[in-house]
Structure 1
Amino acid sequence: MPRTADFEVSGKVQGVFFRKCTKDQAESLGVCGWVRNTRKGTVEGVIQGTTDKVNSMKHWLSKVGSPQSVIDSCTFVNEKNIDELEFEGFTIKKRSEFIGAGLSYDYISSAKGCI
């Protein structure tokens, strides 16, 4: 059964290719979802896949990151089993101007081949 988790990573994670490396890592693991920068200097997103793949991605996001990044903290919320994946591939999204509490889905990059 697929799993989903929302994440937010803080530290030196903008301007260090964190989003691109996140996309590359997700694609190599077969994880679906998205990532984007926030106005407060963090990186946030959603990851989906099998439990093992999501756990591997969680480890990478919280402990590894991009070569030049410095991860201070990584939080995961809304982690749960889902009936089916909500995304095809893994995307990098534009930083959104947050309006209310809703998420913006303005994709700028996409990839295929995710289970």
Structure 2
Amino acid sequence: MSVSSHDSSLETHSIRVHGRVQGVGYRAAAVRQAHMIGVRGWVRNVEDGTVEAIVQGSPDQIDLMLEWMRRGPPAARVATLDCQREPDDRRFGHFEQR
């Protein structure tokens, strides 16, 4: 199975955001930002108080989304952001809040 040049530049990253990131509109703001940047994937709250996301896009798009996620919306206080590139064959059609 061949991979097009477009697909070869597509990266998938698993992200965990720590800090004051729940109850401050982080997920909804992340969806808006993702749509502006053009990345795909999802974002959700985790029971431990963090926010988890899968972000898929070009390296430049990923960089822009990570830059935003390190700050978040005005009420958020991001302490740390863990990011790991994932070898993932899934293709997401859009970015959504879960």
Same fold (TM over 0.5): yes
| Preserved contact between residue 15 and residue 81 of structure 2 (Cα < 8 Å) | yes
Aligned with residue 27 of structure 2, among 19, 24, 33: 19
8 Å Cα contact 1:34-1:92 kept in structure 2: yes
- The residue identity in structure 1 corresponding to 2:97 is I
Alignment counterpart, residue 39 of structure 1, candidates 44, 47, 55: 47
Matches within 5 A, 1:50-69: 50-62=58-70, 64-69=71-76
In structure 1, C-alpha distance between the alignment counterparts of 2:63 and 2:29, rounded to whole Å = 17
8 Å contact kept, 2:12–2:56? yes
Answering whether residue 50 of structure 2 is matched by residue 72 of structure 1, we say: no
CA deviation after TM superposition for structure 1 residue 81, in Å: 6.6
- Residue correspondences, number: 90
Measure the CA separation in 2 of the matches of 1:50 and 1:37. 25
Q: Which runs of 4+ in 1 moved over 4 A?
A: 80-83
- Once the two structures are TM-superposed, the CA of residue 49 in structure 1 deviates from its matched residue by 0.5
Instruction: List alignment gaps of at least 5 residues for structure 1.
Output: 94-115
Query: Larger helix proportion, structure 1 or 2?
Result: 2
**Which of 28, 35, 38 is the matching residue for 2:36?**
28
What RMSD, in angstroms, separates the aligned Cα atoms of the two structures?
Answer: 1.4
**Structure 2 spans left out of the alignment, 5+ residues:** 1-8
| 1:25-73 deviation line (CA, Å, top 9, x unaligned) | 00000000000000000000100001100111111111x2011000000
Return the offset for 1:86: 1.4
For CA contacts below 8 A with separation 6 or more, give which structure has more relative contact order: 2
